[in-house]
Structure 1
Amino acid sequence: MKNKLIKVNNEDNVAIALVDLWKGDKIGFEGEEVIVLNDVKAKHKISMVDLAAGDKIYMYGVLVGKATEEIKRGGVLTIDNVKHEASQTFRKSEVTAWKAPDVSKWEDRTFMGYHRPDGQVGTANIWLFFPLVFCENRNVELLKDIFEKEFSFHKSPKQRQLLRNLISGKDEDTTVEFDENEKGVFDNIEVKFITHQGGCGGIRQDSVMLSKLLAGYVNNPNVAGATVLSLGCQNLQIDIFRNSLEDINPDIKKPVFIYEQQQMGTVDEMLNTIIKESFEGIKKANEIQRKPAPLSKLKLGLECGGSDGFSGISANPALGYASDLLAALGGSPILSEFPELCGVEQELVNRCIDEETASKFTELMKSYENAAEASGSGFDMNPSPGNIKDGLITDAMKSAGAAKKGGTSPIQAVLDYGEYVTKPGLNLLCTPGNDVESTTGMVGSGANVVVFTTGLGTPTGNPIAPIIKMSSNSTLAARMPDIIDVDAGVVIKGEKTIPEMGEELFEYIIKVASGEIKSKADQLSQDDFIPWKRGVSL
């Protein structure tokens, strides 16, 4: 690695340390010598100018904070000498011109997907079990135990071996034979189960929001059919769920079996009926085969979590380039995590295709931030201890890097949580910055594959959509190879450019979407599902 510092934008007055630096180091940068005044860990920032208390700090060409005390050129930025500050958002001030990347080599490419009657195409073939209310969680868990044992969907030989040895009192090194070639009853369908803590007891708006989310999961192209359990007396009534499903897709043709326990007698009677009818639906769904589909049928969730000081200069912009490729091909990238767009709103407003779209974005942002402040919090409290430890010391600094996942393409639509993606091109979706709540929301809005960038390592997945993990640095990729699919650390080392890394990622997305590669999250059966309650969650 030749460079020890990098400045993202010519207008920036701080630079990022690419390696650990030590007090007294003299570094040649931009034709001048910089003397490092403090020990600086890689990923953290040093000032390129003398800053007085109150002076503004810029990264990525945007305001990301202000100095709370004097910081000399070469001094490190910390939470003790910098505080969050972001630019104000106004109406569209300009029309942003977009130069789409060259997509000629992908124009005739396809992926192998599962075609649905409504024209959507899935990257997976899932039969989904879920409850309308938490009272049915136990019955869903019973069904999960029954189906998974018989279908042998989730095998973990190492853990089964350890448990079997513990039970028998044998040494851990003792080997018990397993049939590693054991296959499930069906080879072209997966059965997944989700539970939640909602549907009743909270405010009615939360039940309605949950209903929209669950309807989105049923409508997601990765789902072939669903089995839905209701108690009967809860807030989230069956007709509310059916109305939500009809709002998303008035002519849905997937099999959706709904059972209400209070109308069915004993648990045994209900479970017997569910098992018989669901089995027939699963058997039929297993007949659906992958067929070629244009890349425009991909809806790509853009997520980041466990971010570090390199995320915004390697993994996120590489994902942004892949997002631009997909947008240029007529696909639908989805950028969410509204608390992590704080400070870059004006850029996003200018990228909206019209005033109506821009206004919806600013209204959702203001409403969310006001709710956060009313609860005694705020977007400025978004960075986690891990973010701060690895160089993201203000929310605006974190946001400026996080927004790079959305590339540079025009914003075609802005959606509130629970609304479904229907327009090609980049969509903004209002979700929390919480990793699982955000991913859960994007998949509920139609994402059939998700790329999740991380600098610290985040072991999470989704029940119905493959989650591809991309590391911002090679150290993480080497330390946690079981969860990382793609390493963007080669960008930091100068071995690849952002476009090269973006193209490599795009090819990987196509392979995962086609079933040629199984993402690490799917290999580990990481099926995380956390709905967002409309109460504040950052």
Structure 2
Amino acid sequence: MKEKLIKVNTLDNVAVALVDLEAGATVFCQDTAVKVIVATESKHKVALKPFNVGDKIIMYGVLVGKATAPINVGEVLTIENVKHQSEKVSGKTESLGWNAPNVEKWKDKTFLGYHRADGQVGTENVWLFFPLVFCENRNIETLKEIFDKELLEHKNNPHQNLLKALISGTEVVEQEEKSTRVFDNIDVRFITHSGGCGGIRQDSESLAKLLAGYVNNPNVAGVTVLSLGCQNLQISIFKEALHAINPNLEKPVLIYEQQQMGTVDDMLSTIIKESFIAIREANNIKRSPVPLSKLRIGLECGGSDGFSGISANPTLGMVSDMLVALNGTAVLAEFPELCGVEQELVNRCVHEEDAEKFLKLMKAFEKSVIDAGSGFDMNPSPGNIKDGLITDAMKSAGAAKKGGSSPIEDVLDYGEYLSKSGLNLLCTPGNDVESTTALAGAGANLVLFTTGLGTPTGNPIAPVIKVSSNTELANKMPDIIDIETGAVLRGEKTINEMAEEMLDFIIEVASGNIITKAKLLGQHDFIPWKRGMSL
């Protein structure tokens, strides 16, 4: 690696350290010599010009902060000398053109998916159990224990064996025989939550839309729904939400209300009998070839580092552009992490009303956060800051790279469902699980998730492909990382080459030929968003 500093955009006045830099060392950035003032860890930003108090910090070609103290050339940027700042946006200023990537290689490629009656295609075949209210969580957990034990393959758990050995005082515990799956073509998943009652009525209505989106997601073959009976989220509200998304839904939806069924034992016996019959029927659904246009990929990042916006996120952006060029769908979420890049996104909106809707949602979200005593500037986590993402706009400018450069065809509020192919924006918080949960609820049949620090996040119905921004993370946490983009940082691969490799990987996951690490770990996270309560 010749250069130890990288300037992401020609307009930038800061550069990113690709390796740890020693104080006093002279390093090069695009043939320009820079003397390092203080020891600087990799991923952090170094000044390429002297800054006075109030001067603008430019990275990714946009305003990402302002200097709060004098900064010399070669000095590292920190939360002590830089503060969040972003450009104000009032509306569309121009229409941006787009040069679609060459996708000739993939235009006739297919993946093996599950056809649904409404034309959607799943990458998985899932029977889903969930409650309308938290009061039913225990019954859901009881059903999970019963179904998991009898339906799923059980492998020897080394941690279970370790505990047995400790209890028995022996070094070795006899291995139990493995059990095999009863059904090969259906997964049975269970989700619980803390909503459905209490709070405000709008929370229950929002949850109803989210759960309806999960039912309608093409990865779901059918559902078993548990209701108590007296909760805010009534069965009628859930059915209305489901009808609003898909008035002609043909999937089996089994609903049980405890207060109408008597004892828990009687209710569970009925649920088990009827659900088993439906699951057995859903197991008959088989994969068959479908064009790549049927892919709906959610774009997510979590546990980001200073390399995420240089390697992993731009790779996802190119994959997004390639998929859009193939008439597929990509969904960019996490609105707090679009702060600072609003102007570009507004200008990319095909329809004026979508540009206005995006700005309205952003302003309303930010106002709710401010009213709660916080702000978008509080978005970077301690882990983000430690690894070089010191302002929200800096984090956002890198996070937005996941959306590539294609036109924005639609803007969705939380709880709304995908209806247009191409690039969509979805209003969600930046919280990893809340956002991933919402992407699946909007209809994404697969999620690409970048991380620079490492996170095990998964989803109960959509495969989550974990993409690391650097090789060190992939080597340290191979049990959670599916594919890594460190070769981009080393100059061994271009963004285009990495994206082509990733698209091939996606096709294999979508076809069921590769199982994601999150699925292997049984990581099935589900957290609904209470609006205004989360960044």
If the TM-score is normalised by the length of the shorter chain, which range does it land in? over 0.9
Matches within 5 A, 1:35-74: 35-74=35-74
Partner Cα distance (1:467, 1:155) in 2: 22
Counterpart of 2:531 in structure 1 is 534
2:420 matches 1:430 = no
Partner Cα distance (2:353, 2:223) in 1: 36
Residue 519 and residue 219 in structure 1: after superposition, are their counterparts in 2 closer, same or farther (change >3 A)? Answer: same
What is the identity, as a one-letter code, of the residue corresponding to 2:174?
A: V
Q: Which of the numbers 374, 377, 384 marks the counterpart of 2:371?
A: 374
- Give 1:31 shift: 3.2
Counterpart of 1:316 in structure 2 is 313
- Give 1:160 shift: 3.3
> The residue matched to 1:292 in structure 2 has which SS?
strand
> The residue matched to 2:24 in structure 1 has which SS?
coil
What is the identity, as a one-letter code, of the residue corresponding to 1:316?
A: N
Figure out how many residues of one structure are paired with residues of the other and give that number: 535
2:267 matches 1:270 = yes
Residue 154 and residue 410 in structure 1: after superposition, are their counterparts in 2 closer, same or farther (change >3 A)? Answer: farther
Q: Which runs of 5+ in 1 are unaligned?
A: none
Counterpart of 1:411 in structure 2 is 408
Partner Cα distance (2:155, 2:432) in 1: 26
Counterpart of 1:178 in structure 2 is 176
Q: 1:114-137: CA deviations, max 9, x gaps? A: 111111110001000000000000
- 8 A Cα contact 2:6 2:30, kept in partner: no
Q: 1:468-522: CA deviations, max 9, x gaps? A: 0010011100000000010101111111111111111111111000000000000
2:321 matches 1:336 = no
2:509 matches 1:512 = yes
Q: Which of the numbers 252, 257, 264 marks the counterpart of 1:255?
A: 252
- Give 1:310 shift: 0.2
Q: 1:279-316: CA deviations, max 9, x gaps? A: 00000000001100111111101000000000000000
- Give 1:154 shift: 5.4
Counterpart of 2:299 in structure 1 is 302
> The residue matched to 1:104 in structure 2 has which SS?
coil
Q: 1:434-454: CA deviations, max 9, x gaps? A: 000000000000011001100
- Give 1:32 shift: 2.7
- 8 A Cα contact 1:154 1:525, kept in partner: no
Matches within 5 A, 1:8-27: 8-27=8-27
- Give 1:22 shift: 1.2
- The runs of 4+ residues in structure 1 deviating greater than 6 Å are none
- Give 1:178 shift: 3.4
- Give 1:220 shift: 0.5
Partner Cα distance (1:250, 1:155) in 2: 42
Counterpart of 2:118 in structure 1 is 118
Partner Cα distance (1:510, 1:157) in 2: 31
2:361 matches 1:364 = yes
- Give 1:37 shift: 0.8
Partner Cα distance (1:515, 1:373) in 2: 44
Partner Cα distance (1:48, 1:106) in 2: 41
> The residue matched to 2:401 in structure 1 has which SS?
helix
Partner Cα distance (2:459, 2:339) in 1: 26
- Give 1:33 shift: 1.7
Partner Cα distance (1:140, 1:397) in 2: 42
Partner Cα distance (2:28, 2:395) in 1: 27
- Give 1:361 shift: 0.3
Partner Cα distance (1:163, 1:420) in 2: 45
- 8 A Cα contact 1:157 1:178, kept in partner: no
> The residue matched to 1:215 in structure 2 has which SS?
helix
Overall identity of the aligned pairs, in %:
67
2:137 matches 1:137 = yes
Residue 155 and residue 243 in structure 1: after superposition, are their counterparts in 2 closer, same or farther (change >3 A)? Answer: farther
- Give 1:91 shift: 1.2
Q: 1:310-346: CA deviations, max 9, x gaps? A: 0000000001100111111111100000000000000
Partner Cα distance (1:463, 1:123) in 2: 13
- Give 1:422 shift: 1.3
Partner Cα distance (2:300, 2:233) in 1: 29
Matches within 5 A, 1:459-478: 459-478=456-475
Q: Scaled by the length of structure 2, what TM-score is found?
A: 0.99
Partner Cα distance (1:170, 1:238) in 2: 53
Residue 177 and residue 264 in structure 1: after superposition, are their counterparts in 2 closer, same or farther (change >3 A)? Answer: same
Q: 1:104-156: CA deviations, max 9, x gaps? A: 11111000011111111100010000000000000000100110011134545
What is the identity, as a one-letter code, of the residue corresponding to 2:243?
A: E
- 8 A Cα contact 2:465 2:482, kept in partner: yes
Give the alignment's Cα RMSD to 1 decimal. 1.0
What is the identity, as a one-letter code, of the residue corresponding to 1:469?
A: K
Partner Cα distance (1:123, 1:290) in 2: 9
Q: Which of the numbers 438, 446, 449 marks the counterpart of 2:446?
A: 449
Counterpart of 2:32 in structure 1 is 32
Matches within 5 A, 1:495-506: 495-506=492-503
- Give 1:177 shift: 2.8
Partner Cα distance (2:115, 2:167) in 1: 45
Partner Cα distance (2:335, 2:147) in 1: 38
- Give 1:535 shift: 3.2
Partner Cα distance (1:203, 1:63) in 2: 38
- Give 1:224 shift: 0.3
Counterpart of 1:79 in structure 2 is 79
> The residue matched to 1:141 in structure 2 has which SS?
helix
- 8 A Cα contact 1:153 1:190, kept in partner: no
- Give 1:164 shift: 3.5
What is the identity, as a one-letter code, of the residue corresponding to 2:112?
A: M
Partner Cα distance (1:31, 1:407) in 2: 28
Q: 1:34-82: CA deviations, max 9, x gaps? A: 1111111000001101111100000000000000111111111000000
Counterpart of 2:157 in structure 1 is 157
What is the identity, as a one-letter code, of the residue corresponding to 1:178?
A: E
> The residue matched to 2:58 in structure 1 has which SS?
strand
Partner Cα distance (1:493, 1:169) in 2: 50
Partner Cα distance (1:226, 1:28) in 2: 58
Q: Which of the numbers 169, 188, 204 marks the counterpart of 2:201?
A: 204
What is the identity, as a one-letter code, of the residue corresponding to 1:151?
A: L
Partner Cα distance (1:95, 1:236) in 2: 43
Counterpart of 1:232 in structure 2 is 229
- Give 1:175 shift: 4.4
- 8 A Cα contact 2:7 2:30, kept in partner: no
Counterpart of 1:483 in structure 2 is 480
Residue 347 and residue 430 in structure 1: after superposition, are their counterparts in 2 closer, same or farther (change >3 A)? Answer: same
